[in-house]
Structure 1
Amino acid sequence: MRKALIICSEYPYPMNSGDKLSTNGYVLALKKMGFSIDLLCFSNMQEGEVLLERRSFFQNVFFLQKPPKYSFRNTINFFAGDSFLFGRFFSCENRSEVELILKTGQYGYVVTVQTYMGQYLSKELVESLDCPVVLSTEVLHGRALSKRAELEKNPLKRKVLQIESKRADKKEKQIVQAYDMSFFYAEEDEECMFGVLSRERRKYINLALDLESYTHFARNRNGKRRSIAFYGTCSWYANADALRYLLEELWSEIREACDVDLHIAGRNMCPWAYDYQKSDSRIKVFGEVPSMANFVADTDIILSPIRIGGGVRLKMIEGMMWGRPIVSTTAGVEGIAEEEDELHECISIADDSKAFAQAVKGLLDSEEQWQRQVDYAYGYVKKKHSIDTLVGILSGVEIAH
Structure 2
Amino acid sequence: MTVRSNYYFCWKPSNQLKILFLTHRVPFPQNGGYPIVVCNTIRGLVNLGHEVSLVALNAKKYHHENNDDDNDLLSKINYRAYDININVSVFEVAANLFSKTSFNIDKYYDADFERLLVRELKITQYDIIQFEGLFVSLYLSAIRKNSKAKLIYRLHNIESQIWHRLSQQKSDPFKKSYLKMHAKRIKNYELQQLNNFDAIAVFTEQDKSTLMEYGTKIPIEILPVGINLDHYQPDFEKTEFPSLFFLGSLDWLPNREGIEWFLENFKQDLIDGELRVRFYVAGNDIPERFDDYDVMGKIFIQGEVDDALEFVNSKAIMIVPLLSSGGMRVKIVEGMAMQKCIISTSLGAEGINYKNSENILIANNVDEFYEAIKLCIADEDYCKRVGLNARKLIEEQHDVNKVTEKLVAFYQTLV
TM-score by length of 1: 0.89
Out of 198, 214, 221, the residue aligned to residue 203 of structure 1 is: 221
Within the candidate set 202, 212, 224, 1:184 is matched to 202
Quote the offset at 1:305 in angstroms.
0.8
- Which shifted more, 155-164 or 254-263? 254-263
CA change 1:259–1:219 in 2 (3 A) is farther
Separation in structure 2 between the aligned mates of residue 97 and residue 74 of structure 1, nearest angstrom: 28
Deviations 1:96-147 (A, max 9, x none): 332332332111222221111122112x744864443221111111000001
1:209-254 Cα deviation digits (max 9, x unpaired): 1221122232646xx6621101111111111111111111134456
Give the Cα–Cα distance (whole angstroms) in 1 for the partners of residues 258 and 159 of structure 2: 17
Q: Which moved more, 1:11-20 or 1:386-395?
A: 386-395
Point out where structure 2 has 5 or more consecutive residues left out of the alignment. Answer: 1-11
CA drift at 1:198: 5.0
Which range moves more in the overlay, 232-241 or 249-258? 249-258
- 1:245 is paired with a residue of what secondary structure? helix
Distance 1:78 1:385, change over 3 A: farther
Cα distance in 1, alignment partners of residues 301 and 42 from structure 2: 33
Structure 1 residues 29, 131: closer, same or farther in 2, change over 3 A?
farther
* Pair 1:298-2:317 in alignment: no
> Are the equivalent residues in 1 in contact too, given 2:270–2:299 (CA < 8 A)?
no
- Equivalences for 1:155-304 in 2 at 5 Å? 155-196=173-214, 201-218=219-236, 220=238, 226-253=242-269, 256-278=273-295, 281-304=297-320
Structure 2 Cα separation of the partners of residues 225 and 58 of structure 1: 41
- Match for residue 15 of structure 1 among 30, 33, 41: 30
Cross-structure match for 1:101: 120
Identity of counterpart residues, as a percentage?
21
Distance 1:371 1:197, change over 3 A: same
Distance 1:119 1:146 in 2: 22
Q: Is the 8 A contact 1:173 1:193 kept in 2?
A: no
Aligned with residue 403 of structure 2, among 390, 395, 400:
390
Q: In the alignment, which residue of structure 2 is the partner of 1:64?
A: 82
Alignment deviations for residues 26-63 of structure 1 (CA, whole Å, 9 cap, x no partner): 21122133222211011343237549734644443222
TM-aligned CA deviation for residue 64 of structure 1: 2.6
Instruction: Decide whether the 8 Å contact of 1:253 with 1:357 is kept in 2.
Output: no
Report the aligned-residue RMSD: 2.6
* Structure 2 counterpart SS, 1:326: strand
CA contact (8 A) 2:241 2:316 kept: no
The TM-score with structure 2 as length reference comes to 0.87
Q: 1:150 aligns with which of 155, 158, 168?
A: 168
Q: Is the 1:4–1:107 contact (alpha carbons within 8 Å) kept by the matching residues of 2? A: yes
Contact 2:318/2:342 (<8 A) preserved = yes
CA 1:373 to 1:154, structure 2 compared with 1: closer, same or farther past 3 Å? same
- The equivalent position to 1:330 in structure 2, one of 346, 355, 361, is 346
SS in 2 for 1:306: coil
Assess, with a 3 A threshold, how the Cα gap between structure 1 residues 98 and 238 changes in structure 2: closer, same or farther.
same
- 1-side partners of 2:289 and 2:92: how far apart? 33
Q: Paired residues, what number?
A: 394
Deviations 1:320-345 (A, max 9, x none): 111211001111111222xx6x3552
Structure 1 Cα separation of the partners of residues 185 and 220 of structure 2: 21
The residue type paired with residue 188 of structure 1 is Q
Selected match of 1:35 from 50, 69, 73: 50
- Preserved contact between residue 208 and residue 390 of structure 1 (Cα < 8 Å): yes
The residue number in structure 2 matching 1:352 is 365
